Amino acid sequence: MSIGMYGASVPVFVKMLGNLSNLLEKGKAFCEAKKVDPSVLLGMRLAPDMFPLTTQVQIATQHVHWACALLAGQERPHLEKPEKTIEELQQRIKTALEFAQSFKPEQIDGSEGREVKLVLPLRTIEFKGQDYLNHFAMPNFYFHTTMAYAIMRHAGVQIGKLDFV
């Protein structure tokens, strides 16, 4: 049995968004236990030229919205990035989760050959649906989710591989 575009995207996003939410909960508990202002954790980054934890979560969730919409032939939603607290980031994850779960398999399956056009600030990129999912959406989603994990782990939050997967 082959896996469709829906199966390769939405269930993966749903699982990983849940994991990301759990990671943030552990980050919150870490801050409470260590008496650290959560804004310190949210502002951490692995290198000076990398995005901080807050932005990593925002971009990961952005890719969920974009992938689901674009693969279903809808406009890419524009998402503001006002979140400044763990609670606000948790709400952003919840919104992304609900958005992904709002799609039915028949909206996304069969989108392998769909034209996907991303107009970004520095350039426009055109893909076929399957290439967009496999070579842009999923790598970006996993990259930013992984960076969120790595930042928290580097900060000393007691998380491990099983928390990520």
Question: 122-141, pLDDT tens digit by residue?
Answer: 999 999 999 999 999 999 99
Please write the tens of the pLDDT for every residue from 21-77. Answer: 999 999 999 999 999 999 999 999 999 999 999 999 999 999 999 999 999 999 988
Tokens of 103: 């799609």
Q: What percent of the chain clears pLDDT 70, i.e. is strictly above it?
A: 99
Of 5, 40, 42, 39, the closest CA to residue 23 belongs to 42
Give the per-residue pLDDT at 2: 83
All domains of the chain in start order, with CATH: 10-164 (1.20.120.450)
53-71 and 138-155 are packed helices; what angle lies between their axes, rounded to 10 degrees? 160
Helix (H, G, I), strand (E, B) or coil at 128: strand
Q: How confident is the model at residue 120 (pLDDT cuts 50, 70, 90)?
A: confident
Predicted local distance difference test score (pLDDT) of residue 69: 98
- Yes or no: say if 148 and 20 are a contact pair by the CB < 8 Å rule: yes
**Model confidence at 1: pLDDT above 70:** no
Identity of residue 7: G
